[in-house]
Amino acid sequence: MDSLASFFSALVSADFPFVRNAFLAGLLSSVLFGVLGSVVTVKRIAGLAGAISHAVLGGIGIALYLSATGKVPGLSPMVGAVVFALLSAIIIGTVSLKSKQREDTVIQAIWAIGMSIGVLFMAKTPGYTDPSSYLFGNILLISNQDLVLLLLLDVVVVFLAWRFYPQIEASAFDEEFAQVRGIHTRSVFLIILSVTAVAVVLLQTFVGIVMVIAMLTLPAGTAGYTAKNLASMMVGATLYAFFFSFSGLAVGWVVDVPVGAMVVVIAGAFFLGKAAGNLITKRRRGHDQVAKSTS
């Protein structure tokens, strides 16, 4: 209890700005995870988002190598990540639209090749570079500038989701019907993929690749069990994402373990618990119906 009390006092103390920043980053990224995660989930493109988020490691590795060897001095890993994210989004999006049957293979290929390129370039980068720091990130290293970037992305994503909600909902629910209504479903898909790619880059530099993909799917998946519509799924997923981030931060502080991994474990446990509860409820209903029909 003392540790938990110390966490709350650190949260409000001016002596521990990194704890407050981590809390704010959790709050701001929850909006992105909730809104984008819900769209990714109902569009069933979590695999695509997963491939993009892992492929960015290739861009990070190349940027680190070019910077450390002096070939492109001062090149930020984020630049490499953005280039790789958009490249993989274009490749995966094009294959998904033009050759659906190859989509699965291409997703896995982009996923594996991107990560491997990252590991290879990091191995040849002078000095010590740990790939796992990019896989799990460190939410405790977030600066005020990072928070401003997150806030800006929040505003853009929430505005786009509000403005084009009917088109996003229609193209995710029934693409053919949406096309007949004149919605450019391919453009909607490519814009969703591109915005997701940019968000993934920004988020993974803060919280790590693994946490990004987990938080894009698990809060939305958990909210999806009780949501009445896409909008309530977005709100529910945002609240779940914030709850997972906050409790991961608190537990990570109390038991002194990496916060990113803790957040993923808590989110995963909630999702699996909800899935199991849902399955049991469905089976009970099924049994009740059989009992009624036989009596």
Partner 1 sequence: MVDVPIALQFVSVSFSYPALDVLEDVSFHFHSGEFIALVGPNGSGKTTLLKLILGLEQPQKGAITLLGQNPKKSSSLIGYVPQHASYDPTFPITVQEVVRMGMVASTGRGQRKQELEQALWALGQVELAHLASRPYSDLSGGQRRRVLVARALCAKPSMLILDEPAANMDKESERRLYATLANLKGETTILIVTHDMRQVSDLTDRVFCIDAHKQGKVGRTVVQHALEDYEDGTKRIRHDVHLSGDQCQKEGLDG
When binding is defined by CB under 8 A, the residue of 68, 232, 254, 265 that contacts partner 1 is 232
Q: Decide whether 156 or 235 has the Cβ nearer to partner 1.
A: 235
Please count the CA atoms within 13 angstroms of the CA of 246 that sit on its side-chain side.
12
Residue owning tokens 């969703």: 192
Write down the residue that tokens 């010590």 correspond to. Answer: 128
**CA–CA dist 76, 63 (Å, integer):** 6
Q: Which of 124, 163, 284, 287 binds partner 1 (CB under 8 A)?
A: 163
Residue with token string 């958990």: 222
The region of 16-24, 71-79, 116-124, 164-172 touching partner 1 under the rule CB under 8 A is: 164-172
> Which 209-228 residues touch partner 1, going by CB under 8 A?
224, 227-228
* CB 94, min distance to partner 1, A: 18
Residues in contact with partner 1, total (CB under 8 A)?
28
Considering only residues 101, 229, 294, 295, which one is a binding residue for partner 1 as defined by CB under 8 A? 229
| CB of 70 vs partner 1, minimal distance in Å | 48
For residue 176, state whether it binds partner 1 (rule: CB under 8 A). yes
If the CB atoms of residues 126 and 166 are measured against partner 1, the closer one turns out to be: 166
Q: Does 164 bind partner 1 (CB under 8 A)?
A: yes
Instruction: By CB under 8 A, tell whether 178 contacts partner 1.
Output: yes
Count of residues making up the chain: 295
Q: How many whole angstroms separate alpha carbon 265 and alpha carbon 245?
A: 11
Q: Does 194 bind partner 1 (CB under 8 A)?
A: no
Shortest distance, CB of residue 162 to partner 1, whole angstroms?
8
180 contacts partner 1 (rule: CB under 8 A): yes
Q: What is the largest CA-CA distance in the chain?
A: 80
Residue 273 interacts with partner 1 (CB under 8 A): yes or no: no
Residue among 280, 245, 277 nearest 264 (CA): 245
Least distance CB 154 / partner 1 (angstroms) = 20
Q: Give whichever of 124 and 285 is closer to partner 1, judged by the CB atom.
A: 285
Which residues within the stretch 26-85 sit at the binding site for partner 1 (CB under 8 A)?
Answer: 42, 44
3-class secondary structure, 256? coil
Contact flag: residue 293 with partner 1 (CB under 8 A): no
CA–CA separation, 8 and 13 (whole Å): 9
**Applying CB under 8 A, does 166 fall inside the site for partner 1?**
yes
Q: How far is the CB of 44 from partner 1 (least distance, A)?
A: 7
Class of residue 268 by CB neighbours under 10 A (exposed 0-12, middle 13-18, buried 19+) = middle
Task: Find the binder of partner 1 among 70, 73, 74, 182 (CB under 8 A).
Answer: 182
Q: Dig out the tokens for 23 from the structure.
A: 């809390």
Query: Which residue bears the tokens 């409000």?
Result: 12
Spell out the alpha helix ranges (H) of 69-184: 77-98, 103-123, 131-136, 144-163, 165-173, 175-180
Residues 117 and 72: their CA atoms lie apart, in Å, by 18
d(CA 107, CA 92) in angstroms, rounded, equals 7
Cα–Cα distance, 230 to 236 (Å, whole number): 10
Report if residue 277 touches partner 1, rule: CB under 8 A.
no
Residues within the interface to partner 1 (CB under 8 A)? 42, 44, 163-167, 169-170, 172-174, 176-184, 224, 227-230, 232-233
